[in-house]
Amino acid sequence: MNAATLQPPASDDPARTAERLGPRLYAIRRQEEEDRIAEFCQYVSPKFTYIKIHLIRPVEIAILKLFGLYARGRREFHRMEVVENDIAVPGLPPALEGYTILQMSDLHIDIDPSLVETIAATIARLRYDVCVLTGDYKNLTVGDSSEAVALLKSLRPSIRTPAYAVLGNHDTLDMVAPLEKGGYRFLLNESVVVGRGEGKILLAGVDDPYIYKTHSIENALAGAPPADARILLAHSPTIHAEAEAAGFDAMLCGHTHGGQVCLPGGYPILNNDRCPRRFISGRWTHGRLQGHTSRGTGGCGLPIRLFCKPEITLHHLRRANPEAIANSPSSDLRPSSFVVRPSSFPRYRGRLAPSPTGALHLGNARTFMIAWLRARSQGGEVILRMEDLDHPKNKPGAAAAAIEDLRWLGFDWDEGPDVGGPCGPYVQTARRALYADALGKLVRDGRAYPCICARKDLEAAQSAPHVGETLFYPGTCRGLYPSYQAAREAAGGRLPAWRFKVSDGETAEFEDVFCGHVAQDVSSFCGDFLLAREEDGAGYMLAVVVDDAAMGVTEVVRGDDLLETTPRQLLVYKALGLEPPRFLHVPLVLGPDGFRLAKRHGDTRVAAFREAGVPPERIIGMLAHWCGWAEEGESVSLSDLVGRFDLSRLPRQPVVWRGGTTPFANENMIG
Ligand SMILES: [Zn+2]
Ligand SMILES: [Zn+2]
């Protein structure tokens, strides 16, 4: 029978597989598999399958090519994203705190053999304690499985832990024996106990519940020993209710591919499951059951993905009581990363990040021009991200106007709010969940706390006059409030902000590509700094770090007014376990009074020049002249400047704008 086994002996023959799955269920599945093959053969010549395989694919590809989506879909197919998910388990023993399960799903690996390499490269940098695979190893539901088996075997050495697997609806019972010889262990309505130290996790796996319906949680749990955490592996989320009733802490599944081909923003056009939408992709809960549906690591049908990146998931076990987690000694067991830079961005990735708080002016335009040329001169990609978290200052229509101004000047971008892309959404207010997630990690790790101090009180308390916007914070609220709620009650109506806890003497240093070595003692420069002003962590300092990491930005090019904030961001990168990008800070355009370009320096809005009939090449020529890449008065298009980009000619001093209110009245307005 199917008593739970601590280490199920491998199947080397079908009889053994039958015994493990249960003879009755085995017979049902075997018969179904044969029926499908028969059906397939029957249709091969005139009907459905023939048409689907031999005709629809080229037609689909042609249609996608027509819309320019095929190449993009191919690229996205290899842009693995490492998704992190916490599983809270009441009473989890300290030995299991941070225990990490690597999940892969829906590899359909024979659709594109190069997936083996992409997966291997992605998981090489990850830390995990065990690997699980939740079904669909093969592309087609029928036909030869030997290529899929061979490819999976070639992937196995890249997985550094035991690997447990369940069957999906694309897989056949014949695959079990060869794959087990290749180092995978199937859970055929069976359980296994894994863990660390004294901690024990029951990993139960059931057969495909979607097409074959030969799953049996009851068999999988028969004779199962007690464990500290109980996790179910199943190909599809269809059986979430059964899983909850059986008392599992968590259920890991796949099958839906998250849609695989989605509308911009990740909205699935089709999904192949019977579940309500919330079970289709990512984290969900059903009663006390915490579930996760992987978007899949590969994909089937066509080897493409659109607006739905392939996923490799790291599930971290956490004690359900957050206080216990904060006090846990096992901080070295915590995951090393929050969002992992997608390994499949081999190229330079830069970004333009306008804020819709005002119109694009010559100063912003020059910084964006440098950032854009820096990327394009290296054949790199450009992302446009709208940094709109500063609600009170946002101007209606400013986001659309910034895009219009940039386009008019000749900018383009590969990903952005108006064109979509694999790392979307590209508008910060639509990314709040990510910031909340990062903030949660910082709070758990004791690196962030709520603060109810008002800015005017802090200003009054400064002993020396402060420069710019950075105030030193003496840590008044540190350790005072156990939760945001408690701080809010103490604040009497004012909303608390979040601060980052800086240790005594904590410094950060980096090599700026343009400014050279920068080092700052953050603890004495600003102390515990502001991370965000909103309860969910949406705020510049946290958001910029999370977004640049999640979008795979390799280098940040921006104005040197932000240079002094970079050390703070580096501390946030470090606390989240993220690898920071390179930084290149460039001098700003200033008014004659030495201050950042503002209204009093005249109308320097790009739109004002456009309305006055100044051609974009003339503006670009002037901005390029300020960088040493064009003659004075020269007209040049942005794309023509790509070949002239040269950082060594960029002046180290700020540009001083002397145009007054009548730009282009004479050519002596800059100096
Ligand atoms: Zn699948
Ligand atoms: Zn499936």
Rg (CA), the chain: 28
Nearest to 81, CA basis, from 383, 424, 382, 540: 424
Above 70 in pLDDT, residue 453?
Answer: yes
Alpha carbon of 222 to ligand 1 centroid (Å):
28
Above 80 in pLDDT, residue 214?
Answer: yes
Give tens-digit pLDDT for 100-149: 999 999 999 999 999 999 999 999 888 899 999 999 999 988 888 999 99
Give tens-digit pLDDT for 529-549: 999 988 888 899 999 999 999
Nearest to 106, CA basis, from 314, 315, 343, 311: 311
Give tens-digit pLDDT for 69-106: 888 888 889 889 999 898 988 888 989 988 999 999 99
Instruction: Check 47, 181, 393, 599 and give the catalytic one.
Output: 599
Alpha carbon of 233 to ligand 2 centroid (Å):
13
Alpha carbon of 108 to ligand 1 centroid (Å):
7
* Closest ligand to the CA of 168: 2
> How do strand 349-352 and strand 516-521 relate by DSSP bridges?
unpaired
Q: What is the band of 276 on the pLDDT scale with cuts at 50, 70, 90?
A: confident
Above 90 in pLDDT, residue 618?
Answer: yes
How would you label 250-277 residue by residue, b for 16+ Cβ within 10 Å and e otherwise?
A: bbbbbbbbbbbbbeeebebeebbbebee
Q: What is the band of 425 on the pLDDT scale with cuts at 50, 70, 90?
A: confident
Nearest to 243, CA basis, from 274, 212, 217: 217
Run of H or E including 404:
helix 398-409
Contact status, residue 269 vs residue 263, Cβ threshold 8 Å: yes
CATH of domain 14-320: 3.60.21.10
* Closest ligand to the CA of 298: 1
The pLDDT score that the predictor gives to residue 370 is 97
Q: What are phi and psi of 335, to 5 degrees?
A: -60, 150
Alpha carbon of 256 to ligand 2 centroid (Å):
7
Mean pLDDT of the chain: 85
Q: Output the CA torsion sign for 225, 228, 233, 236.
A: positive
Alpha carbon of 187 to ligand 2 centroid (Å):
17
For the chain, give the percent of residues with pLDDT over 90: 53
DSSP letter assigned to residue 390? -
Nearest to 644, CA basis, from 374, 409, 364, 408: 374
* Closest ligand to the CA of 138: 1
Above 50 in pLDDT, residue 614?
Answer: yes
- Mean pLDDT of the region 423-446: 88
* Encoded tokens for 296: 């899949």
The size of the chain, in residues, is 671
> How do strand 497-500 and strand 529-532 relate by DSSP bridges?
antiparallel
* Closest ligand to the CA of 137: 1
pTM of the model: 0.53
Angle at 100 between CA 96 and CA 103, to 5 degrees: 145
Above 90 in pLDDT, residue 269?
Answer: no
- Mean pLDDT of the region 314-331: 58
Angle at 327 between CA 126 and CA 197, to 5 degrees: 55
Q: What are phi and psi of 249, to 5 degrees?
A: -75, -40
* Closest ligand to the CA of 296: 1
Above 90 in pLDDT, residue 528?
Answer: yes
Alpha carbon of 6 to ligand 1 centroid (Å):
28
Run of H or E including 401:
helix 398-409
Alpha carbon of 235 to ligand 1 centroid (Å):
9
Alpha carbon of 278 to ligand 2 centroid (Å):
17
Contact status, residue 495 vs residue 488, Cβ threshold 8 Å: yes
The pLDDT score that the predictor gives to residue 42 is 53
DSSP sequence for 607-667: HHHHHTT--HHHHHHHHHHHHTSS-TT----TGGGGGG--GGGS-SSPEEB--TTSTTSSS
What are the boundaries of each domain within the chain?
14-320, 339-584
The pLDDT score that the predictor gives to residue 272 is 67
52 as an active site residue: the answer is: no
Q: What is the band of 302 on the pLDDT scale with cuts at 50, 70, 90?
A: confident
- Mean pLDDT of the region 444-458: 87
Of these ranges, 462-466, 542-546, 663-667, the one predicted with the greatest mean pLDDT is 542-546
Tell me how many helices (H) and strands (E) the chain has: 21, 25
Give tens-digit pLDDT for 224-248: 889 999 999 999 999 999 999 999 9
Above 60 in pLDDT, residue 337?
Answer: no
Distances, alpha carbon 250 to alpha carbons 102, 372, 487, 553, in Å: 14, 45, 32, 33
Q: What is the band of 39 on the pLDDT scale with cuts at 50, 70, 90?
A: low
In words, the CATH class of domain 339-584 is alpha beta
- Mean pLDDT of the region 302-309: 87
Q: What is the band of 328 on the pLDDT scale with cuts at 50, 70, 90?
A: very low
> How do strand 163-165 and strand 100-104 relate by DSSP bridges?
unpaired
How many Cα atoms within 13 Å fall on the side-chain side of residue 528? 20
